[in-house]
Amino acid sequence: MKLQTQRGKWQAASGTKMRRTQSGISCHPSPVTRHAAFTLIELVLVLALLVVITSLAAPAMANFIRGRALDSEARRLFSLTHAAQSRAVSEGMPMVLWVDQKQGTYGFEAETSNKKTGDPKADTFTLDATLQIAVMNLGRSAPTTFNNLPAIRFLADGTVDENSPQTIQLTDSGGVSRWLIESRNQTGYEISYTQQ
């Protein structure tokens, strides 16, 4: 404890006052200071205000989270088209990206995979429970299928087969949609926020 002198008094740096007396130095604690605090009523009012704000923000947050699930699924499907296209070019054989609308699944594999062993590099994905997927051919007479499911077929040169679906639609429970649309030059697909 550091002592300081001030007008004949000894004072400790910690707030304890020390005085010089005839018998030596005596210590007297300084008066107790009151600290400001919240009352119970103030705390209850703050909690009530937080409940009101949370109840107003909850629906907006739910829509935000639902929108993120839709966008995330659209990006995953878009990435899968790139993976299938790259694999078709690198392996020199057609790849198909199939969509099972009823089960809410999709995936890709080699078109000519061995029926007994299957394609060891095949991928399958399941949609988020709040989403639905739909394949739209838009006037194509003989759509491409794989195991009786609609499919996008990527040829060995990386182009999209002319009978492949032009559009795949993802829709969330709120009716908001994202579309995976075939590019005009049939070299791939792109994500659209409006139906074209």
Find the distance separating the first CA and the last CA of the chain, reported in whole Å: 79
Ordered per-residue pLDDT tens for the chain, 196 residues: 454 555 545 444 455 555 555 665 555 555 666 677 878 899 999 999 999 998 888 877 776 666 678 888 899 999 999 999 999 999 999 999 999 999 999 998 888 756 666 788 888 899 888 889 998 875 566 788 888 889 899 998 988 988 888 889 999 888 888 999 888 887 889 988 876 6
Predicted structure pTM score: 0.63
**DSSP 8-state symbol, 115:** T
Quote the tokens at residue 183: 């590019």
Q: What is the third-level CATH fold of 66-192?
A: minor pseudopilin epsh fold (3.55.40)
3-state secondary structure of 135: strand
Judging by beta carbons within 10 Å of its beta carbon (0-12, 13-18, 19+), is residue 44 exposed, middle or buried? exposed
Quote the tokens at residue 170: 């993802």
